[in-house]
């Protein structure tokens, strides 16, 4: 095969990935846990192009160069090295995630790219191998390879990949308050946390402990405990970030208003908890039966979409692959 | 003298006091630095009452019992023990600080009570001794004894008091967004931080380092550095608090809107920085020449009052003491 198309979805972490132990290998300082969503897919086609001198990238219909092309090209180098093929590729990607606003478009992007590139270059990879590969493009892409709830293990290159975790069903209400580009990229903010936040070492150890608690809560099907750990871990990540020098604040007034509304809903008996990645958007988790009520309550405050557990990355057949 | 009246003002910390090393002695885990304001005074009269069986307390014109009376009475015991007098006292206090909303009414309250009680029971105390005494009532009261910018030293009972610090003149713009009682008292939240926040140990060490930097910035008259350290330390304190289990969030949407407006003003060339105590209110610091512009900018978001460096606690003469 010299052309393949893959589709992947973003994931939202309940226990956050924040901080690398190895930048080049994209190895996280701690494990993390997420749910892959069923909304905002990225569809990516990779086609080998023997007549080209270099890789080309089309993002959302526009030719992309600069840093985005470099990142894709460096990633394709990993695939080519493994496949023993030096042919450049044409990459065409369509992303439905609002870019750079705290929802992980890079996760779905590199998960889809990993699967499409591996197939186009003739590699046959297990789910764990694909997750390891996607990790090299963008850490959290390791998790978007896996359907539903996934744990991404810390560790060395060989064993840092994501795996499925049995968990009770819950929904995510994605509240988008600001789809603009962030002032400080999460890559830069993560680096700043590692280098300057006095809370970073304790963030790493406390997150490792929370991950173990979260895995136990998932096993036990204890939604309350899952929710409490989710909200606490998110607040700790943002605490670590805002303790950096100079400080970075991702949660704006509109974000905090959603955290407050979520807390008020809990007080009213609708059990929901909030989390937020490195951006202003907030995601509420709730039991599936409560998701519509949570979405209704948040709609006056933000653009709202309800997501369920989504599929892992998959290759599209010719009939589906209009990308 | 068997009756004395004293007046003290609240103070706002630039380097925060958050966490005790000794609850009974009210010894802080680290030093802190504040400015005593020239607004929101508390005026307190203490009169020995040989015919009474017990202390009585009047707060803002109403008879107070329960915990407030117990705290006052326990504090008076310290004074009586030192004076060798067992006579109960009648305490009448008028407070102009919005109670329990993140501005330190307990600081001005116990500073005024310390000075009035010491005088009424015939103790003659130095400023350092008065600061040590006020500390036993409420930690940050140690600082309201001192005029203008004050450092409150950590240490043991003997050397944990506040002292004046030479500093450049600056103003404080107090933005009151919510004068309601807090859901979690700062006493309880402080205890929770010490016991459950994984960031608490690093908060203590990083604050000790920031205090040294702040003292150097005050000596150098470097307002920019003073402001940067102030905002960073406030964000780190709130980070420590929100990392507690269960989490506590004091900064609501309205508070964050003020932090954002302050950052926007900086970007527009008006140099101002934000801080917040354990509550939703925000205080912006600015050079005196910029204070009115900052107040104007924040007025659409909050009730605003501009404060300058205020006096330390002082006894009022009979002509002033209408309390």
Contact B235 A249 (CB under 8 A): yes
pLDDT score of B95 more than 50 = yes
Q: Which two tokens stand for residue A296?
A: 């209704």
Residues B306 and A88: their CA atoms lie apart, in Å, by 64
Residue A49 · residue A89 · CB < 8 Å: yes
pLDDT band at A170 (very low <50, low <70, confident <90, very high): very high
Residues B216 and B220: their CA atoms lie apart, in Å, by 6
Res A59: pLDDT: 93
Res B320: pLDDT: 76
Q: What is the DSSP letter of A97?
A: S
Res B321: pLDDT: 63
Q: How far is CA A4 from CA A1, A48, A68, A132, B293, in A?
A: 7, 9, 20, 19, 60
Residues A254 and A277: their CA atoms lie apart, in Å, by 15
Contact B199 A202 (CB under 8 A): yes
Q: What is the DSSP letter of B155?
A: S
Sort strands A56-59 and A162-164 into parallel, antiparallel or unpaired: unpaired
pLDDT tens string A203-262: 999 999 999 999 999 999 999 999 999 999 999 999 999 999 999 999 999 999 999 999
B117 Cα distance to chain centroid: 19
Q: Nearest 5°: phi and psi at A119?
A: -70, -45
Determine the average pLDDT of the residues in A47-65.
96
Size of interface A-B (CB pairs under 8 A): 87
pLDDT score of A323 more than 70 = no
Interface with B, mutate which of A202, A227, A250 (most B CBs under 10 A) = A202
Residues A196 and B154: their CA atoms lie apart, in Å, by 25
Q: Which residues of B touch A (CB under 8 A)?
A: 198-199, 201-203, 205-206, 228, 231-232, 235-236, 238-240, 242-243, 245-247, 249, 251-257, 259-260
Cross-strand pairs, B27: B22
Res A187: pLDDT: 87
pLDDT score of A112 more than 80 = yes
pLDDT score of A296 more than 60 = yes
Q: Does the predicted TM-score (pTM) go above 0.80?
A: yes
Res B318: pLDDT: 75
pLDDT score of A136 more than 60 = yes
How buried is B178 (Cβ within 10 angstroms: 0-12 exposed, 13-18 middle, 19+ buried)? middle
Res A101: pLDDT: 44
B202 Cα distance to chain centroid: 23
pLDDT tens string B108-136: 999 999 999 999 999 999 999 999 999 99
pLDDT band at B323 (very low <50, low <70, confident <90, very high): very low
Cross-strand pairs, B34: B13, B150
Res A151: pLDDT: 98
Q: How many other β-carbons are positioned within 10 Å of the β-carbon of residue A259?
A: 25
Residue in B closest to A242 by C-alpha: B235
CA A114-A117-A121 angle, to 5 degrees, is 140
Residues B65 and A323: their CA atoms lie apart, in Å, by 74
pLDDT tens string B141-179: 999 999 999 999 999 999 999 999 999 999 999 999 876
pLDDT tens string B14-61: 999 999 999 999 999 999 999 999 999 999 999 999 999 999 999 999
Q: Which two tokens stand for residue B103?
A: 């501005």
Q: Nearest 5°: phi and psi at B153?
A: -80, 140
Residues A165 and A149: their CA atoms lie apart, in Å, by 5
Residue in B closest to A240 by C-alpha: B239
pLDDT score of A99 more than 60 = no
């Amino acid at each position: 095969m010299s052309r393949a198309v893959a589709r992947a979805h973003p994931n939202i972490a309940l226990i956050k990935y924040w901080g690398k132990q190895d930048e080049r290998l994209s190895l996280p300082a701690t494990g993390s846990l997420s749910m892959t969503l069923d909304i905002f897919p990225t569809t990516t086609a990779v086609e080998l192009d023997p007549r080209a001198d270099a890789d080309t990238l089309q993002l959302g219909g526009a030719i992309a160069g600069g840093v985005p092309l470099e990142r894709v090209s460096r990633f394709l180098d990993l695939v080519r090295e493994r496949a023993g093929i030096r042919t450049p590729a044409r990459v065409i990607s369509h992303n439905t995630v609002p870019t750079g606003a705290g929802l992980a478009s890079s996760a779905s992007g590199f998960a889809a790219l990993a699967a499409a590139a591996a197939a186009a270059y003739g590699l046959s990879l297990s789910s764990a191998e694909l997750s390891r590969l996607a990790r090299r493009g963008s850490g959290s892409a390791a998790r978007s390879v896996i359907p539903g709830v996934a744990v991404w293990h810390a560790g060395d290159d060989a064993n840092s990949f994501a795996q499925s975790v049995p968990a009770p069903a819950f929904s995510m209400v994605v509240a988008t308050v600001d789809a603009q580009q962030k002032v400080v990229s999460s890559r830069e903010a993560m680096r700043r946390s590692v280098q300057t936040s006095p809370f970073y070492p304790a963030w790493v150890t406390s997150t490792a402990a929370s991950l173990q608690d979260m895995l136990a809560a998932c096993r036990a099907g204890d939604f309350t405990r899952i929710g409490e750990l989710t909200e606490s871990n998110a607040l700790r990540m943002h605490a670590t970030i805002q303790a950096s020098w100079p400080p970075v604040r991702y949660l704006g007034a509109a974000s905090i208003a959603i955290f407050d509304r979520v807390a008020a809903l809990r007080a009213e008996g609708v059990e929901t908890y909030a989390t937020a990645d490195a951006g202003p958007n907030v995601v509420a988790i709730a039991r599936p039966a409560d998701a519509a009520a949570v979405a209704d309550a948040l709609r006056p405050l933000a653009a709202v979409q309800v997501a369920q557990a989504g599929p892992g990355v998959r290759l599209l057949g010719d009939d589906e692959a209009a990308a």
